[in-house]
Amino acid sequence: MAPLRSLFLLSLTVFIFTSCRADPDPLQDFCVADLKSDITVNGFPCKLASNVASEDFFFSGLTVAGNTNNMFKTNITIGNVHSFPGLNTLGLSMNRVDLAPGGINPLHSHPRASEIGFVVQGELLVGFVSTANVFYSIVVKAGESFIIPRGLFHFQYNTGNENAVAVMAFDNQLPEVVMAPLALFGSKPAIPIDVLTKTFQVDASVIQLLISKPRRRKNFLH
pLDDT of residue 14: 47
Question: In terms of Cα–Cα distance, which of 90, 108, 184 is closest to 151?
Answer: 108
Running along the chain, 222 residues long, what does each successive block of 10 average in pLDDT?
55 50 66 85 86 94 94 95 92 96 96 96 98 97 97 97 97 93 91 96 94 62 58
Q: Are 54 and 86 in contact (CB under 8 A)?
A: no
Q: Where are the beta strands (DSSP E) in 20-173?
A: 74-79, 93-99, 104-109, 115-121, 123-129, 135-141, 145-148, 154-157, 164-170
φ/ψ (deg, to 5) at 102: 85, 0
How would you classify residue 73: left for phi > 0, otherwise alpha for psi between -120 and 50, otherwise beta?
Answer: left
pLDDT of residue 212: 85
Q: Are 98 and 122 in contact (CB under 8 A)?
A: no
Task: Collect all residues with Cβ–Cβ distance below 8 Å to 10 and sequence separation of at least 6.
Answer: none
How would you classify residue 91: left for phi > 0, otherwise alpha for psi between -120 and 50, otherwise beta?
Answer: left
Helix (H) or strand (E) holding 198: helix 193-200
pLDDT tens-place string over residues 88-144? 999 999 999 999 999 999 999 999 999 999 999 999 999 999 999 999 999 999 999
Q: Are 44 and 35 in contact (CB under 8 A)?
A: yes
pLDDT of residue 43: 78
End-to-end CA distance of the chain: 64
pLDDT of residue 213: 75
